[in-house]
Copies of this chain bind each other. A is one copy, B any other.
Amino acid sequence: MSLRIGDVARLVGTTPRTIRYYEEIGLLAEAPARPSGQHRLYSDAEVERLREVMRLKDLLGVSLEELKTLLSAEEARAEVRAQLRRDDVDAERRRELLGEALGHLDRQLELVRHRAAELAKLEHELCETRKRAKRKIRELEADPRLVASSRE
């Protein structure tokens, strides 16, 4: 149920130092009740959060600072969930929070879609280049003397 920092690091493929660093810069929340000196303990949810952080860092190629603001979408949604469990918040406030979360989501989506499109373009180009290379090899194997006839 509760893992220590070394186990978490092994689980997600990183180091304790990195986890502490992420906490230091506010990318991971620090447990509010932990007295200085005591060992950190992590729930499964926190491990998942870390996995998500590392995944986004890798896929989006943004700085940890940008990533922090991007991930505020999740904080907003967490707050929404928390507020939905209480009855004393008005609908106006709820709409506000949801709208905010939606905005963050849209920013993430835009970033992801743009990169996905660029990558698709690159993949296409690479495939074309590859095709040409393969064709040339086939020509070579069919008849070495025909090589000069196909210009790139």
Contacts and interface: CB of A to CB of B under 8 A. Distances in A.
Interface stretch (A19-27, A28-36, A117-125): A117-125
Interface size bracket, A side: 35 or more
Contact of A140 (B81, B94, B101, B152): B94
B102 A130 contact: yes
Contact of A91 (B112, B140, B152): B140
B137 A81 contact: no
B59 A122 contact: yes
Interface in A90-123: 91, 94-95, 98-99, 101-102, 105-106, 108-109, 112-113, 115-116, 118-120, 122-123
Contact of A137 (B59, B102, B112, B152): B102
A75 B118 CA distance: 23
A133 B91 contact: no
Given A55-B118, A102-B137, A116-B123, 6 more contacts: A59-B122, A77-B152, A80-B152, A105-B126, A109-B126, A115-B119
25 contacts: A55-B118, A55-B122, A59-B115, A80-B152, A84-B148, A84-B151, A91-B140, A91-B144, A94-B144, A95-B140, A98-B136, A98-B137, A98-B140, A101-B133, A105-B130, A108-B126, A109-B123, A109-B127, A109-B130, A112-B122, A112-B126, A113-B123, A115-B119, A116-B120, A119-B119
